[in-house]
Structure 1
Amino acid sequence: MTRQQHAPEATGSTVVQQPTRRAFQQHCARAALGAGALVAGHARLPVRASSAPATAAPSPPLALPRAGRAKAVIFLWLGGGMCHVDTFDPKRLGDPVMRKPGSAYRSIPTAIAGVRVCEFLRQTADRLDRGVLLRTVSHPLSQLHAAPTNLFKTGRMISGTIVYPSIGSIVSHELGPRDPNVPPYVVMGYPNVTRGPGFLGARYGYIYLTDTESGPNGLKRPLDVDDQRLARRRRLLGVLRRGIDNQPPTSPLRQYDATISEAFRLARPEFTRVFELHREPDRLRQRYGDEFGQRCLLARRLIEAGVRFVEVSFNLNFVNGTGWDTHGEGQKNQHKLILSLDRALSALLDDLERRKRLDETLVVLATEFGRPPDFDAAGGRGHHSQAFTTALFGGGLKTAQVIGTTDDFGRRAVDRTISLPDWHATIQTALGIDPQKELYAGNRPVPITDFGQPIRELFAA
């Protein structure tokens, strides 16, 4: 069984989350409202006269937009840092040899009037009206990859006192699977802390796989284990499991026992047959393209089987200098990555639309940060988190939009900066999850987002 729960990833030092100005103000507003509720209906307490000017009452929070229609998420993760100015936010042409800042490729028009993307995204460009570009996503971390990835997946800085859950685990916790015979959360990629359940516990962790044909490790029965042998093993296991019900609910033994039960359930054909990609028409498999495309096809099959959240990693086991981490020589091969993405993403959108599932499936395209418009001495690009692009498709959103504008080079937002708490609140609202609710780490209340607000233009009035 390959469900994972992790401790925080080492980053060299403990990072303590600092409250933002907005978060501090909202905490103060909540405290004021709570104090008012305690004394409502009672005599007013005497107050000492003061010459200080009166303070205006805090404004009530904006009403949440109507919840979206999405029932599931396909989360396409481009580990390493997709360069926004070379993909979805093209600028004037640059030159890596002359170290002239700008885009590496020419741009082309799209299905959204006035919006252009990279010339290697030709098929996606024709389908861009099915989605929304968020061009001004921003956060403060651009060093290395582990901490920015953790920040993006959880919407929080790493804390020394609590391990925050990933977006996939939160969706698993809030909505569960659409079918009891499948897990709610599946990851195509190697396990790491950024995808984990944090304080929610192992029950809301993920099932991971690295082979689209064989499925998760440990679920496929060895050839020498027939039905009788399996039955004997289960009887022996039943003897060993006696007394576990007497353990406290939070006991590791109870959690391990629950994992065993889930493993038996998921080993049934109802789930394992999802991985039989050979059942798909050859023409469709060719349309999806390479290995990343086959993962996208499997993601569609998993969603149809009832999985709630599927993360598809572009490169299964990201290490520095691979995938979208286009330093130095990586820049020269970046167009191959873009072509692979274009083919797989456009095929996925067409496939979901043809099967009448695009409106209820939110397809998310995300990366830990972007790349600066400047070329380094080796012809590559560094890391850039001040403003970069992510995209959302389908999911019942109001599509054919671009939210946010960057400057002439793509270095900074010139309007509408999108914070990660707001980004997470938008995903949750699209799924009908209240982004203002609180979760609990033991007895400690934890806001489900760091006081994020959904992007209202994406939802029906």
Structure 2
Amino acid sequence: MAPAFDNRFSRRTLLQRSAVGFGSLALRGLMSAAETPNPLAAKKPHFPARAKRVIFLFMKGGPSHVDTFDPKPLLDRDHGKPLPFALPRVTFAKTSTLLKSPWQFRQYGESGLPVSDLFPHVARCVDDLCIMRSLHGTNPAHGGALLKLHTGSDTFVRPSMGAWISYGLGTENSDLPGFVTICPTLAHGGVNNWGSAFLPAWAQGTPLGNASVPADQAVVRHIRSPLSTSALQRLQLDMASKMSRNHLHMTGEDANLEARIDSFELAFRMQTAMPELQDIQGETEATQKLYGMDDPTTRNFGRQCLMARRFAERGVRFIQVTHSDANVQWDQHGDLIKGHTKNAAEVDKPIAGLLYDLKARGLLEDTLVIWGGEFGRTPTAQGGDGRDHNPEGFTMWMAGGGVKGGIAYGATDDYGYFAQENKVHIHDFHATLLHLLGLDHEKLTYRYAGRDFRLTDVHGHVVKDILA
């Protein structure tokens, strides 16, 4: 028979017997604070991934699909005639008759896919492209359409797709952010397009410059301190971190303070990694020429694409490159020929160079490259030779990262106004993007304000027919 437990001892005896235990509890708390894991550490996907990282080539303003990757013979035939069916219930502005494309389409590669004369360099990579011709969204205005594409919502502030991916997968390089956006536009949603909203602050994008800054000036500022050594900064950071951890120990969890501590640590580590990454002088002359760095027309966007490759090969998870001109962009309500010719000339060679370079280095296989804008353009004319916004049907393409190359998926109607065959909503695009990264869009959730949120909200289907 077990002896009865004797609970007759004084408080002094209790303290004497448990003193060592209190000390171990305190030590455990201090050690856990000192060994807080990096929240951006690489995480396992839900299932085997086809892609490890994403490069998103964003064409701000909405390039015209019927002038780039979606040829329409009937549009050429019926030039000047009225559109033979009803317009969408909501349109951005008034347009007139059908406007044929000023550019010819030619077939390229073993696939024979047609590409317009606007993109002769990208056309030579067509066998690596999965051209999705049946995208459609919900908003005909730039602001709403940009937010829809980047965050899945055009009505509420939501985390961006890059933030969701950083949250779900972390980064493969602890010395660099998980999400970088190069020369992003500050208009039409601005920081919300790369923000983390209610996700932890460490998941948000790190902007380098903005659309009004030349690419060679789009760098991490203040990367070196002229006033203190690295050793002194380390001591200062350790002291600040210790004070913050003590505060957390007394007050409990504070996501904002924890994110600030993490950002200080990342900034310190970036002082070692970023100077070398931002210095492209080590790139060969042939490589720089491949990206168009030798030509004033292509130099700016070429540098952005080259930096995207350098970030990708160093383990950054999501890299966005934005082509945005404050005067023209891709938003040609008038002067379509002048505007699209200028824009395509600036990006065509750099994009092809990026695809060639990734493929030569063995990176294209597990790097998903995406090209597109927030919507397309109407097949009807506006302002003489311009086109209006069109979210009803447009084109984006993917390359590498587990998608089939040399295919065109889906279709718009005979004139290019509405997505008609194998329609791909923006939610479907996001679901497919996450799937290629090994993430189930229905399981990548975050509880906020009493409900579980996700990038695709309550929608989205993976487009399985484009998977390799």
Letter in 2 for 1:167: M
What is the percentage of aligned positions where both structures have the same residue?
Answer: 29
Match of 2:461 among 449, 453, 461: 453
The equivalent of 1:350 in structure 2 is: 356
CA distance in 1, matches of 2:62, 2:155: 19
* CA distance in structure 2 between the aligned counterparts of 1:272 and 1:170, rounded to whole angstroms: 27
Say whether residues 1:197 and 2:191 are aligned partners: no
The correspondence for 1:128, drawn from 104, 126, 132, is: 126
Deviation at 1:366, TM superposition (A): 2.0
222-231 vs 424-433, greater mean Cα deviation: 222-231
Q: Counterparts of 1:342-381 in structure 2 under 5 Å?
A: 342-381=348-387
Distance 2:114 2:455 in 1: 35
SS of match in other structure, 1:371 = strand
Alignment of 1:383-422 (within 5 A): 383-422=389-428
The aligned counterpart of 1:252 is 256
Q: Does 1:102 align with 2:97?
A: no
The residue type equivalent to 2:467 in the other structure is F
Match of 2:305 in 1: 296
* CA spacing shift, 1:458–1:177, aligned 2, 3 Å: same
Give the SS at the match of 2:387.
coil
- Rounded to whole Å, the distance in 1 between the matches of 2:242 and 2:172 is 32
Please tell me whether Structure 1 or Structure 2 has the larger radius of gyration of its CA atoms. 2
Aligned-partner residue type, residue 452 of structure 2: P
Shift in alpha-carbon separation, 1:252–1:209, aligned structure 2, 3 A: same
**What is residue 59 of structure 2 aligned with on the other side?**
78
Q: Which amino acid aligns with 2:430?
A: H
Does residue 310 of the first structure (1) align with residue 291 of the second (2)?
no
Amino acid at match of 2:264: I
> What is residue 207 of structure 1 aligned with on the other side?
206
**How many angstroms does 1:287 deviate by?**
1.8
Residue-by-residue CA offset, 1:365-403 (whole Å, 9 max, x unaligned): 121000111221342211001000000000122222111
- CA change 1:349–1:116 in 2 (3 A) is same
Residue 249 of structure 1 aligns with an amino acid whose one-letter code is E
The Cα offsets for residues 69-117 of structure 1, whole Å up to 9 and x where unpaired, read as 1111001110111111111112244589x96512121111122545211
Deviation per residue, 1:417-451 (Å, 9 max, x gap): 11111111111111111122151233421244232
Deviation for aligned residue 1:130: 0.6
- Structure 2 Cα separation of the partners of residues 102 and 66 of structure 1: 46
Task: Pick closer, same or farther for the CA change 1:276–1:95 going to 2, 3 Å.
Answer: farther
How many Å apart are 1:244 and its aligned residue?
Answer: 3.4
Q: What is the CA distance between 1:416 and its match in structure 2?
A: 1.2
Rounded to whole Å, the distance in 2 between the matches of 1:283 and 1:89 is 33
1:234-263 per-position Cα deviation (integer Å, ceiling 9, x unaligned):
477467646333343334333222222221
Q: What is the aligned length?
A: 387
Q: Give the 3 Å change call, closer, same or farther, for CA 95–277 of structure 1 in structure 2.
A: farther
Q: Of residues 217, 220, 228 in structure 2, which corresponds to 1:217? A: 220
Moved more, 294-303 or 194-203: 194-203
8 Å contact kept, 1:99–1:379: no
TM-score when normalising by structure 2: 0.76
Match of 1:341, SS state, is helix
Q: How does 1:4-403 map to 2 (within 5 A)?
A: 68-92=49-73, 93=76, 100-111=98-109, 113-143=111-141, 145-159=142-156, 163-190=157-184, 192-210=191-209, 212-213=215-216, 216-223=219-226, 225-227=228-230, 230=233, 234=237, 237=240, 241=244, 243-246=246-249, 247-268=251-272, 270-289=273-292, 290-315=299-324, 322-329=328-335, 331-403=337-409
Contact in 2 for aligned 1:112/1:129 (Cα 8 Å): yes
* Contact 1:214–1:275 (8 Å) recurs in 2: no
Distance, in Å, in 1 between the alignment partners of 2:202 and 2:452 is: 19
Cα distance 1:121–1:112, how it changes in 2: closer, same or farther (>3 A)?
Answer: farther
Point out the more displaced range, 244-253 or 356-365.
244-253
Q: CA RMSD in A?
A: 2.6
One-letter amino acid of the counterpart of residue 455, structure 1: V
Report SS of the residue matched to 2:445.
Answer: strand
Q: Distance in 2 between matches of 1:311 and 1:371?
A: 23
Question: How far apart, in 2, do the equivalents of 1:235 and 1:302 lie?
Answer: 28
**Given the superposition, is the C-alpha separation of residues 419 and 237 from structure 1 closer, same or farther in structure 2, using an over 3 Å criterion?**
same
Instruction: State the TM-score, normalized to the length of structure 1.
Output: 0.77
User: Which blocks of at least 5 consecutive residues in structure 2 are unaligned?
Assistant: 1-45, 82-95, 185-189, 293-298
1: CA distance between counterparts of 2:291 and 2:245? 48
Asked if the contact 1:102–1:409 (Cα under 8 Å) also holds between the matched residues in 2, the reply is: no
Q: Which residue of 2 aligns with 1:40?
A: none
Conserved? CA contact 2:61–2:329, under 8 Å:
yes
| Cα distance per residue 1:278-319 (max 9 Å; x no partner) | 11112211221221111011100001111010000112xx65
Q: Structure 1's 415 and 112: CA in aligned 2 closer, same or farther, altered over 3 A?
A: farther
In structure 1, C-alpha distance between the alignment counterparts of 2:228 and 2:218, rounded to whole Å: 18
Deviations 1:188-225 (A, max 9, x none): 12452122112212111011102654664334114454
In the alignment, the residues of structure 2 paired with residue 372 and residue 78 of structure 1 have an alpha-carbon distance, to the nearest angstrom, of 17
Does residue 444 of the first structure (1) align with residue 442 of the second (2)?
no
| Equivalent position amino acid for 2:396 in 1 | T
Q: Which amino acid aligns with 2:333?
A: H
Distance 1:229 1:152, change over 3 A: same
Q: What are the superposed Cα offsets for residues 147-200 of structure 1, whole Å, 9 maximum, x if unpaired? A: 1100011223323xxx32111011101111012222110001245212211221
